[in-house]
Amino acid sequence: MLADQQLCNDSAQLHGLTLTSYVLDVVVVSLSLLIICGNLLVIISVIYFKQLHTPTNYLILSLAVTDLLVGALVLPFSTILSMSSCWYTGYLLCKMRGLFDILLCTSSILNLCCISIDRYYAVCHPLRYASRINVYVTLIMIILTWTISFLLSISITVREKDEQNHSWRCKIFMSTKESSPGPIFAFYIPTTLILAIYFKILMVAKQQAKRIKSTLKSEAALSKMEKKTNITLAIVLGVFLMCWSPYFLSMGLYSLRRFTIPVVVIEAFKWIGWSNSMLNPLVYAFFYRWFRHAFRMIISGRIFQGDYSSTSL
């Protein structure tokens, strides 16, 4: 045992001196800072400016908190543990990293699902939106999102068998029978729901555009409305699917044991999925001009020079 531990320590020291480890450290630190800073701007904006105290923005706030924790907790610990040769020395830390990973990534995806539901009522049922989606309903959605994510992460982490002892390495993904239901509830079901909702939104938006055309006889208004709707939905769906689909699909194939997929490839896909936490503020916040105005005021430090909480954005 002592010999194995000494060999492990020597390997870890040699591993830590490689150029790859330094490059990876720089990439992870940069990605973590971008995720933290971007989502922190969203959090401060929604909390500080009264104009942003709306049900939709509370859902965006919940998403920003989730993504910020991904950058602050999951990424740094994943890097440390995945590069460590002495996995057994960080067994508890590895389990905690897995717990936070499942909790926060699931919460992020479910928050996106809640935002799609909010947009569905706003576009498809605008007259009933205020009565159906209010602060209390939004709070219930947020609580359910975090509760489901917590229960799923606890269930998978507790049931997860220790299959990594022989490799002395903490993997950044789980692929056992105990964890197989996780992707179904954390990705496939929410993704199917999101796709169905946005498809419905797109259909309704086209119908509304046709009514505008028949009323205003304006091809320009129709073209502009359809173009804006298509671009928005393409960005929302494209970024989400681009980031998370490769990981969950490859992990599913890996779990079947019928396809040979290198572990390093699946881990690379996982990092792409985590990068969605950096892109979410761009898609769901920078897209709106009132958020951009709020960000400029925060970055310039104006909010520290007086009370601008009631400022019209």
- Residue with more model confidence, 262 or 87: 262
Q: How far apart are CA 44 and CA 290, in angstroms?
A: 13
Name the residue with higher pLDDT: 222 or 131. 131
Q: What is the pLDDT of residue 308?
A: 84
Q: Indicate if the alpha-carbon torsion angle 131, 136, 140, 143 is positive or negative.
A: positive
pLDDT band, very low/low/confident/very high, at 131 (cuts 50, 70, 90): confident
Give the closest residue to 74 by CA, choosing from 27, 28, 12. Answer: 28
Average pLDDT over the chain reads 78
What is the structure's pLDDT at 11? 44
Residue 282, both tokens: 């761009």
**Predicted confidence band at 90 (pLDDT cuts at 50, 70, 90)?**
low
Which pTM value belongs to this model? 0.83
pLDDT band at residue 221 using 50, 70 and 90 as cut-offs: low
Q: Are 290 and 48 in contact (CB under 8 A)?
A: no
pLDDT of 44: 93
Inform me whether the pLDDT recorded for 256 exceeds 80.
no
Evaluate if residue 10 carries a pLDDT over 60: no
- Residue with token string 């919940």: 62
Domains and CATH numbers, the chain: 2-170+177-301 (1.20.1070.10)
pLDDT at 13: 45
> Residues with Cβ < 8 Å from 181, sequence gap 6 or more?
156
DSSP state of 216: H
Least confident of 62-71, 174-183, 204-213: 174-183
pLDDT at residue number 17:
44
Residue pair 168/266 in contact (Cβ under 8 Å)? The answer is no
Highest mean pLDDT among 115-129, 152-166, 175-189, 218-232 belongs to 115-129
The whole-angstrom separation of Cα 31 and Cα 34 is 5
% of the chain at pLDDT higher than 90 = 19
| 73 DSSP 8-state letter | I
Residue 103 — very low, low, confident or very high, per pLDDT cuts 50/70/90? very high
Tell me how far apart the alpha carbons of residues 39 and 64 are, in angstroms, rounded to a whole number. 5
Neighbouring C-alpha atoms within 13 Å toward the C-beta of 190 = 26
Q: How far apart, in Å, do the first and last CA atoms of the chain sit?
A: 64
pLDDT band at 215 (very low <50, low <70, confident <90, very high): low
